[in-house]
Amino acid sequence: MTSQRHTTQRPGSTVVRCRAVARRFGSVPALTRADLAVDEGEILALVGENGAGKSTLMRIIAGEIAADAGEVSVDTAVGLVRQQLSTVPGLTVIEQIALAAPAGGRVDWRRLRREVTELMDSTGLEVPLDTQADRLPVSLQQRVEILSVIHRGARCLLLDEPTTYLTPHEVDGLFEMIRGLTPTGVSAVFISHKLREVAAFCDRVSVLARGETVATFDEPPFDLAELGRAMTSKTAAVDPGRGRSHRGDRGRARGDHDGTRHNRMRLRAGSALAVAEGEIVGIAGVAGNGQDELVATLTGLRRHGAFAPVLLDGRDVTSLSPWRRRRKGVRLVPSNVKQAAVAAEATLADNLLTARVDPRYTRRGGWLERSEVDERTDDCLRDYGVVATGHDQLAGELSGGNLQKFVVARELAHDASVLIAHEPTRGVDFAAAAQIRRRLDRFAEGGGGVVLLTSDLDELLELSDRVHVLYNGDLSQSFPAEELSVGRLGELLGGIDRGATA
């Protein structure tokens, strides 16, 4: 497809320009012909399916990696907020920001603190400056990165999915702040899979598909359907099964196993949370209200008294290690897949192997059946449409969304009985998100139990049978999902009228 660009006269000079940029990683062509122009004072959205090359283009503009071909000119100070967090273990937030600050002699801590406090006031992005950054929930770590880049004096912000961990309120705050800066000539490139955010906040949209710029939309309002079509224009047909499933229909299908809902398999935290076979139990809550603690307690990573004991199949498994729980079928999609679910330097096949306990992988005598592992890995990649070269590719080389799909595939593969899914569609494009939702649904229909923690309220209501609200470390009673709406959930999330806590 030829690149389409409808130019209009815009004020402000162009501060970043890329023409016909190409870049390969080994045999993988990440970019084939990317064009991009960012003008002073504008917010440009960069959209595209998982693996389209968005992050690669940002890394080239930021000077982290070089292009193989094409022209790149950058006439301003750019600051990249990466998809993957770069929190340095052991440092406090203010130390982390000092580390990223422009070099030059000793740090004037007083001044730094004053500047960052002012920045927090003006952006509404609050963080505790004296807390160790790696102990903060990922949502706050993301805020630290954004503050750090702005504090460093970047005039063109390259924001690679900066809103994945932010609440809608924080997203509003972030854009209000950037809008406040644009009259002074600051510009931003904003990568997001949430087209609603793109439509609400951006001046222009550039679309990448399979490494090539296929369209640029210059005038809001943007036609989201047309945007979606441009994004998928170079890939196979979008899955026709996309769209909402209906809880009622699904419930009936599940009940039809044999007319009853089995309680054979249960995971239970205290008396509050119980997940039966065939059930998806949603946990709603603003990040930082105890989600990480709940997930850690359910999976055995840590024990938080408020949620223990944990029962599986009616037996107390509170003292079982995460590994032994895995052997009993408890699986996890963590909220930060890249850091917590894979070894980036290992191949996908090795990542499948180390995460699973499967007798099929060993011959008699304990020898590893390598070809079986490789085949299973390729099955996962194929089933979930993961863009990868094959089982031998290193996990760290996958794009963010493709890695997410791989981890969901791995965790849901055979022998899973309970899945703890924490933001399972984070960072994936809309077609892949719909596919992951269908897989969760199908897993439940097949008798699995799912604990779903997601900040996407539509997703929560679409998938869950019942919903608990987590607020300030307390789980509410559960509400049947069909009695809830996004508006009602919003009230519950804010702690208004939460119903009795269990």
The site for ligand ATP (CB under 6 A) is made up of: 25, 28, 30, 48, 50-56, 83, 387, 397-402
Q: How many residues does the chain have?
A: 502
Q: How far is the CB of 402 from ligand ATP (least distance, A)?
A: 5
Task: Please tell me the distance from the alpha carbon of residue 490 to that of residue 496, in angstroms, as a whole number.
Answer: 9
Q: Which is nearer to ligand ATP, 22 or 461 (CB)?
A: 22
- Contact criterion met (CB below 8 Å) for 433 and 405: no
Q: How far is the CB of 241 from ligand ATP (least distance, A)?
A: 21
Question: Which residue sits closest to ligand ATP, CB atoms considered?
Answer: 401
Torsion angle (degrees, nearest 10) of CA 455, 459, 465, 470: 10
Q: Which alpha helices (H) appear in 221-314, and where do they start and end?
A: 224-231, 247-255, 291-299
Q: Which is nearer to ligand ATP, 37 or 398 (CB)?
A: 398
Q: How far is the CB of 117 from ligand ATP (least distance, A)?
A: 33
Task: Please tell me the distance from the alpha carbon of residue 480 to that of residue 141, in angstroms, as a whole number.
Answer: 33
Q: Which is nearer to ligand ATP, 409 or 484 (CB)?
A: 409
Q: How many helices (H) and strands (E) does the chain have?
A: 17, 20
Q: Which is nearer to ligand ATP, 53 or 329 (CB)?
A: 53
Q: Which string of DSSP letters, residue by residue, matches 439-500? A: HHHHHHHTT-EEEEE-S-HHHHHHH-SEEEEEETTEEEEEEEGGG--HHHHHHHHTTSS---
Q: How far is the CB of 320 from ligand ATP (least distance, A)?
A: 34
Q: Which is nearer to ligand ATP, 293 or 397 (CB)?
A: 397
Q: Which is nearer to ligand ATP, 116 or 333 (CB)?
A: 333
> CB count, 10 Å around CB of 243?
8
Q: What angle do CA 57, 58, 59 make, to 5 degrees?
A: 90
> Burial level of 94, CB count in 10 A (0-12/13-18/19+)?
buried
Q: How far is the CB of 55 from ligand ATP (least distance, A)?
A: 3
Q: How far is the CB of 374 from ligand ATP (least distance, A)?
A: 18
Q: Which is nearer to ligand ATP, 28 or 199 (CB)?
A: 28
Respond yes or no on whether the N-terminal peptide bond of residue 309 is cis (omega within 30° of 0). Answer: yes
Q: How far is the CB of 321 from ligand ATP (least distance, A)?
A: 32
Q: How far is the CB of 33 from ligand ATP (least distance, A)?
A: 14
Q: Which is nearer to ligand ATP, 235 or 318 (CB)?
A: 235
Chain position carrying tokens 């998809």: 83
217 backbone dihedrals φ, ψ, rounded to 5°: -105, 120
Amino acid occupying residue 76? T
The pairing of beta strand 4-5 with beta strand 212-217: parallel
Task: Please tell me the distance from the alpha carbon of residue 34 to that of residue 156, in angstroms, as a whole number.
Answer: 19
Amino acid occupying residue 148? S
Q: How far is the CB of 396 from ligand ATP (least distance, A)?
A: 7
Q: Which is nearer to ligand ATP, 197 or 465 (CB)?
A: 197
